[in-house]
Amino acid sequence: MELRELRYFVALAEELHFARAAARIGIEQSPLSKAITEMERCLGVRLFIRTRRSTTLTSIGETLLTDARALLAQVDSVHHNLLATASGRSGRLNVAVCDGVAHTRIAHTRQHSPDMDIQVIHIPSPHKSSRMLSKYSLTPRH
């Protein structure tokens, strides 16, 4: 089963109308119908009850809908996290701060990169900090 098929299934399950589901996902009605029929054939179950006037979910279809929504949400989250990490808006940043210096920059970074995990380490002074910095794998800047 492919993600595309799951997206088709969710659209049809939510719309319960082939034409509206096809329009929602940007394809023609015929390929959607064929994809759903093929999905049912491959799974060996009926996901929908179709009549000339309506389309309804079977109990198996309802179960798949719950799982498909969760799976697609997870896939979307993975995609978002990968893009955020690749663009530098996500990840972990360790910052050593001496005497309150750089708090505005940290606030700015948190505002513009909300997915960034910023760990702030307060140190008493630059001269006493080398042991503390090495504990966090940080290098002092001079």
Least confident of 34-43, 62-71, 79-88, 119-128: 119-128
Predicted pLDDT at 117:
76
Predicted pLDDT at 139:
52
Contact 45, 7 (CB under 8 A): no
Q: Is the pLDDT of residue 140 over 70?
A: no
49: three-class secondary structure by DSSP = strand
Q: What are residue 48's DSSP bridge partners? A: 57
* Chain centroid offset of residue 40 CA: 27
Residue 140 and residue 125: Cα distance in Å, rounded?
A: 11
> What would the two tokens of residue 24 be?
């929602």
Average the pLDDT over 15-38 and give the result: 97
Q: What is the pLDDT of residues 72-120, one digit of tens each?
A: 999 998 888 788 777 776 666 666 666 655 667 777 777 777 777 777 7
Residue 25 and residue 4: Cα distance in Å, rounded?
A: 10
- Could you tell me if residue 91 is left (phi over 0), alpha (psi between -120 and 50 degrees) or otherwise beta? left
- The alpha-helical segments, DSSP class H, found in the chain are 3-15, 18-25, 29-43, 59-86, 103-112, 130-135
